[in-house]
Amino acid sequence: MKKQGMLMIISGPSGTGKGTVVKELVEKQQQFALSVSATTRSPRHNEIDGVHYYFYTREVFEKMKNENQLLEWAEFCGNYYGTPKEYVEQQMAEGKNVILEIEVQGALQIKKIYKDCILVFMIPPSAKELKKRLTERATEDEQTIQRRINRAIEEMEFVPQYDYIVINDTVCCAVNAICDIVKVEGMKSSRNINIKKQFKGEITSC
Amino acid sequence: MKKQGMLMIISGPSGTGKGTVVKELVEKQQQFALSVSATTRSPRHNEIDGVHYYFYTREVFEKMKNENQLLEWAEFCGNYYGTPKEYVEQQMAEGKNVILEIEVQGALQIKKIYKDCILVFMIPPSAKELKKRLTERATEDEQTIQRRINRAIEEMEFVPQYDYIVINDTVCCAVNAICDIVKVEGMKSSRNINIKKQFKGEITSC
């Protein structure tokens, strides 16, 4: 039987570069799988069902919600977004570490159910760097940037409820940090409760 | 100001090879310091005061005990053994990660005072390997070996109270595992409570 994978949730201010880190992790490290979210919004150009999102009707989404088939869900601008439980649990059963990139409220919702999921808060190396990254995107006006910065300050209030803080200085360092966290979490005694029994069994037979 | 070092306690069955791992860590990794124990027993040939042990009289030891200058203490075969608090705290203040190689009871005594100390339980790769290592020492008779194995089984009961289990397969792997634990513990949000404040301060000034 394969050892159960772990569930890791990554949150952090917009502009931190979480998406790039997660993409690199999933592409380069076979042990990770990215959770695919579900939404009721229409697919955009090039978006593939089951890859970028699971695209559901409101009826289907609401049925899943009511039948407890979502790890977390929220409604934004009239559309539902959520994390289907089945895919996550299936990947974990196959020994994959599943990564969810979601915002603070959803993360804390999941932590209530999965006590041993790992909450990672990713931040840029400095506030100055965050401002620089948001400005360099050049897709947003000054007002939107300021709103994102204010939101970042609000989100930082939740840091104490997260397990780890990863500083995204370079993508490579952040990827390594996450791999280290998974490795060390795997050594936790709470994740190795069988060792005691196994050792006792072995010792009596040798 | 230097970042405060961490306190790590390593326990585990006799014959696991903890001593070799700890020696390697302290010799090769500048970030670690080994705590020096205090005892009331007489120094053996070649043992240097302040290096192998602090050798104290019963009066001095009892005074330290009563004045709360010991992190933990115990009496074996009519001699006191203990961990002087001052040295440990001084090393941590200098940014060193202090390692204590002590038995289960002492470890749990310290965890009560230093909630954020890291408890590592080191085990051999298998019970068979433990038996082999104890037998190969060739310094002990069959009865003593059996007693040590029984003691190992008893000690395993305390594993759930430890934070991590490190398997000492090779010294190199065990050393790396401990370095990884220290690195990842350093990313814990509970050890970085200033980040939120720092980020807020930065953002208003940039």
Give chain A's mean pLDDT: 91
Q: What percent of chain B has pLDDT over 90?
A: 64
What is the rounded CA–CA span in Å between residue A197 and residue B157?
9
Give A160 to chain B, closest Cα distance, Å: 6
Cα separation values, B44 from A49, A105, B7, B77, B100, Å:
73, 61, 28, 16, 21
Say if residue B154's pLDDT is above 70.
yes
Quick one: pLDDT at residue B203?
A: 74
ipTM over 0.85: yes
The segment with the largest mean pLDDT, out of A45-54, A172-181, A191-200, is A172-181
Rounded to an integer, the average pLDDT of B123-150 is 82
Say if residue B138's pLDDT is above 80.
no
Q: What percent of chain A has pLDDT over 90?
A: 64
Residue A73 pLDDT class (50, 70, 90 cuts): very high
Quick one: pLDDT at residue B52?
A: 86
Say if residue B2's pLDDT is above 80.
no
Give the residue among B19, B63, B18, B22 at the shortest CA–CA distance from B40.
B63
Q: Where are the beta strands (DSSP E) in chain B?
A: 7-11, 32-34, 38-39, 54-55, 70-76, 79-84, 97-101, 118-123, 164-167
**Tokens 């966290």 belong to which residue?**
A181
Rg (CA), chain B: 19
Model confidence pLDDT, tens digit, residues B57-92: 999 999 999 999 999 999 988 899 999 999 999 999
Quick one: pLDDT at residue A136?
A: 80
Q: What percent of chain A has pLDDT over 70?
A: 98
Quick check: A189 and B126 CB within 8 A? no
If interface means Cβ-Cβ distance under 8 Å, which residues of chain B face chain A? 121, 123, 126-128, 130-131, 149, 152-153, 156-157, 159-166, 177, 180-181, 183-185, 187-190, 192-193, 195-196, 199-200, 202-203, 206
Rounded to an integer, the average pLDDT of A186-193 is 94
* Residues from chain A contacting residue B149 (CB–CB below 8 Å): 203
Strands of the A118-123 sheet, one edge to the other: A32-34, A97-101, A7-11, A118-123, A164-167
pTM here? 0.91
Give A175 to chain B, closest Cα distance, Å: 13
Say if residue A1's pLDDT is above 70.
no
* Residues from chain B contacting residue A183 (CB–CB below 8 Å): 180, 184
Quick check: B159 and A130 CB within 8 A? no
* Residues from chain B contacting residue A187 (CB–CB below 8 Å): 164-166, 177, 181
**Tokens 């990947």 belong to which residue?**
A91
Give B135 to chain A, closest Cα distance, Å: 13
